[in-house]
Structures are given as structure tokens and as C-alpha cells.
Structure 1
Amino acid sequence: MTGTIHNKDRFLKNISQNLSRPMPRQVTKPAWQFRPQDKTLADLSQDELVEVMKQHSIAIHTDIIETRSTEVNEVLARVIATYGGGEIIAWNDPRFDELNIDLKKYDTFIWDEAKGAENIEVAERANIGITFSDVTLAESATVVLYADKGKGRSVSLLPATYIAIIPKSTIVPRFTQAAEQIDQRNNDSDFPTCINLITGPSNSADIEMKLVVGVHGPIKATYIIVEDY
């Protein structure tokens, strides 16, 4: 959906006058002669990128499990059992059906935008949230999530634990490649309503530089990488 900006010039003029600055000029995107960010990890194969992810997952206290599409249900069942089962909330995502993932065998609530605030209430009390990763950054073991209808942000943020299903083909070296993909989608009608970058369970080291996990979100996270070539 393309939005319309109203009163842009008047708004900027008011700010400029209060700051005693001239109106901003049109910004032209620079063409950089050197782009080292494009080359970092770019020569690695998909399997090598997975190994980079594994190394970084240790630092962010996140488990990584590799599996085939034919075995993903068994792997998912083990992770859910490890997390104690209970109520689950998941995206309304066609990729579950594409991988023949059966969520009906669990106490699963599928995000439904028609249910409004009920979605958030379920996410708050759910033990497990499950989403797919849309782009995955090997350099930092980060999943990039495109929120939209049926794919609420709360699924990955509010439950006690979190599971990200990662199609292996979504793994890229670093945010450079993710930003390029996002830029390419900028004019698409299905551009996400929000883009979240999640690097393992929630944690903070703001107080006395001591790392505390699970301050404001999932206390545990597992990435399930699925071979999808």
C-alpha cells in the first residue's frame, strides 16, 4: 500500500525556521567508489554461512538445529517438548503448509488480524512463539521478520520462548544484503508493516555491564534451519 504525505513542505519549513536553518535540499544518494560491506563474507558458500551462524549463535545463547524438510516436524516436536509445551502462538504463514508442518497437534493459536487485541492477549500468555525468518544474517545470527497481516510482531516478542524456522536459502552474509532486499521491495504493494531484527533471546547489559537474558521478551530461542533447495 502506497501512502500519501500531506503538508510536508509546511512541516519542514516550520522546523527550519525554528532552527534558523535553510530548508533542506533534495538529497541525492551518493555513488560510493568503494563498498567493502558488499565483500564481507560474500565468497562463502551457503554451508559456510551456516557455520558462521553457528559460531555467533553461541554468543547470543541460541540453539541451532539443522534438518531436512522431511524431518522438520520431528525436530519441531522435540524443541516444543524441551520448552515444556503449553500454549503456542504462530504466524498465519503459508510456509507452514509448504513444509507440511502440522501445528494442529499442539495447543496452537494462529494469528488472525480479525481478532484484534485477542492476538496480543494470547501472545502474552503463550509459552512458545513460532515464526519463519524472511532474511537471515549469518554474521550476527539474526533473523529478519517481515510483519504483515497474519504475521504479528508480538509472536516473536511476547511468549516466554521463541522458535524461528529458517529456510536455508534465506541466509545471507550480513545486513548489507538484507537492506538491498528491503530496498527492492520498497515500492511493492506487499511491503511489510514492520521489519524486526531479532538476535536470539532478549537480553540487556545496561546495568553494570552484566548480561541479563530474558528481560523484555523470550528467555530462550531456537533456530531450526531447514534445507529447502
Structure 2
Amino acid sequence: MAIQNRDSFLSNLAANLGRPQRRESVSRPEYSVQPQHEVFKDYSAEELIGVLKEHCKVIHTDFVRTDKSDLQATLKRVLDGYEAASIIASNDKRNQEYGLDKAYEEFSKEVDVHIWDASLGKENQVIAERTDVGISFSDITLAESGTVALMTNKDNGRSISLMPKCYVAIIPKETIVPRMTQAAGKIHQDNEKGIAPPSSVCFVTGPSNSADIEMNLIVGVHGPVKVTYIVVD
């Protein structure tokens, strides 16, 4: 695709900055101090899980740990705790690997289950808006801030973590990294390898909340009121 009027735009910009237009590429500087790589650098997987668990208390998020064999029962307990009458889940290839395909089939005997269906288009969002609980996998999990990074695509819409009353993130243990530095690094590496990028990357840190008005914390302003992280060994 041709870029229209690029040279005249850049020349005008350089003139207003009072310097010649720079033509050569800019090299990345080598900083003598890079603290972004030092935080939790030597932590083991277990130590990072400990950091994540502690920070969940700060962000008002329930923390649960289980393994693949007990995931269905664990998820059922969480849904019962939310008194869920309906759920919406991503159509993730990991559903089968973690036994969630069978779990959703079993859950459908008691609650309304909708698996994100790309062929339905906007109807998925309408369903998400009226649903009690959204469920999806975390692709990268930031221990420091208690953040799940969600790579959205046609089978995993953003609405799953945003529009239902409650949200459950399934966190494979191997997705846990120290902080944003490592998450950005992985996304960059995937891009360098030619892996197709997601439609968006959503960073979700616990339930929706805001303290904009008189510093009073209000939960559930523009998203789920309750969130549970299930770490799976």
C-alpha cells in the first residue's frame, strides 16, 4: 500500500522541530542499567506462583490451584460459588488438552453453555453480555501484577473476559513469567518468527475497578465484578 504525502509530511515535521529530516535508521541504545530484567529474574516456577498468589489478594481476585485431572471438579466448584446459570467460553484448542470440552458438555446438563462460535459474529457479544461467567485461557501470566495476557482471535473474543458478570482465567503453570518485560519479549519473539499476531492482546488484572471519584474504590464499573484465577499444574 502506497504512503501518500510522506516526504512532505516528514519535511514539514522536521522543519517545525528545527532540524534536518533524519534519513538513517535509529539503533537501539545499550543501557548500562536495565532493572526491567532483574525483577524476579532468578525465581523458580513455584516462587513465581507464590508471588502471583499474594498479589491476587491485592487485586481482589480469588486464587485456586489444581492439576489437569481435577480441573473439571475445581471449575465446577468455582461456578457453583458464583451461582452461575450460564457460561461462555473460548473455542480454544487447549479445551481438549485440559479436558474442558468434556467438562462443558457435562456442565450443559445444569447450566446454559455457549462456546464462542466465529460463524455467529456479533451474536457472540450479545450472548456474552447476558452471561454470568466467562472462561478462557491465559496465554502469558504476569506474576508481579497478577495480570493475564489474552491473545484474542476469531475463536476467543475479547467479550469473554469483559462482558459477563464474572470471569475465570485458566492459567497453565508454564505461562507464568515475572512481569511485563517477559510478556512483551515473547510477543516480539513470536512476531520475529512470523507467527500470525492476534487481533488484539488484552492485559486483564483482576475484576474491573475504579477509584476516579473521590478515591473511593468501586468494583465492576466496566467489566466483571468477580474474577478467579485457576493455576493448573
**TM-score if structure 2 supplies the norm length?**
0.89
Match for 1:156 among 149, 153, 161?
161
Shift of 1:23: 4.3
Shift of 1:108: 1.3
Q: Identify which range, 56-65 or 100-109, moves more after superposition.
A: 100-109
Provide the rounded CA distance (Å) in 1 between the counterparts of 2:176 and 2:213.
33
SS at match of 1:152: coil
Q: Which residue of 2 aligns with 1:6?
A: 2
Q: Identify which range, 25-34 or 157-166, moves more after superposition.
A: 25-34
Provide the rounded CA distance (Å) in 2 between the counterparts of 1:128 and 1:13.
52
Q: Which residue of 2 aligns with 1:143?
A: 148
Match for 1:120 among 125, 137, 151?
125
Structure 1 gaps, min length 5: none
Provide the rounded CA distance (Å) in 2 between the counterparts of 1:108 and 1:12.
54
Q: Which residue of 2 aligns with 1:43?
A: 42
Shift of 1:144: 0.4
Residues 157-185 of structure 1: CA distance to partner in whole angstroms, max 9, x if unpaired?
Answer: 11100000000110000011001000011
The within-5 A match list for 1:70-149 is 70-101=69-100, 102-104=103-105, 105-106=107-108, 107-149=112-154
Structure 2 gaps, min length 5: none
Tell me whether 1:31 sits opposite 2:30 in the alignment: yes
Provide the rounded CA distance (Å) in 2 between the counterparts of 1:201 and 1:135.
18
Q: Residue 23 and residue 84 in structure 1: after superposition, are their counterparts in 2 closer, same or farther (change >3 A)?
A: farther
- Counterpart residue type for residue 49 of structure 1: L
Shift of 1:6: 3.4
Provide the rounded CA distance (Å) in 1 between the counterparts of 2:85 and 2:10.
52
SS at match of 1:58: helix
Q: Residue 130 and residue 20 in structure 1: after superposition, are their counterparts in 2 closer, same or farther (change >3 A)?
A: same
Report the structure number with the largest CA radius of gyration.
2
SS at match of 1:186: helix
Identity rate, percent: 46
Contact map agreement 1:136 1:143 (CA 8 A) in 2 = yes
Provide the rounded CA distance (Å) in 2 between the counterparts of 1:160 and 1:181.
31
Residues 101-133 of structure 1: CA distance to partner in whole angstroms, max 9, x if unpaired?
Answer: 221223211112211110110111111000000
Shift of 1:34: 2.7
Provide the rounded CA distance (Å) in 1 between the counterparts of 2:179 and 2:163.
26
SS at match of 1:30: coil
Q: CA RMSD in A?
A: 1.7
The within-5 A match list for 1:185-204 is 185-187=190-192, 188-204=194-210
Contact map agreement 1:201 1:217 (CA 8 A) in 2 = yes
Q: Which residue of 1 aligns with 2:186?
A: 181
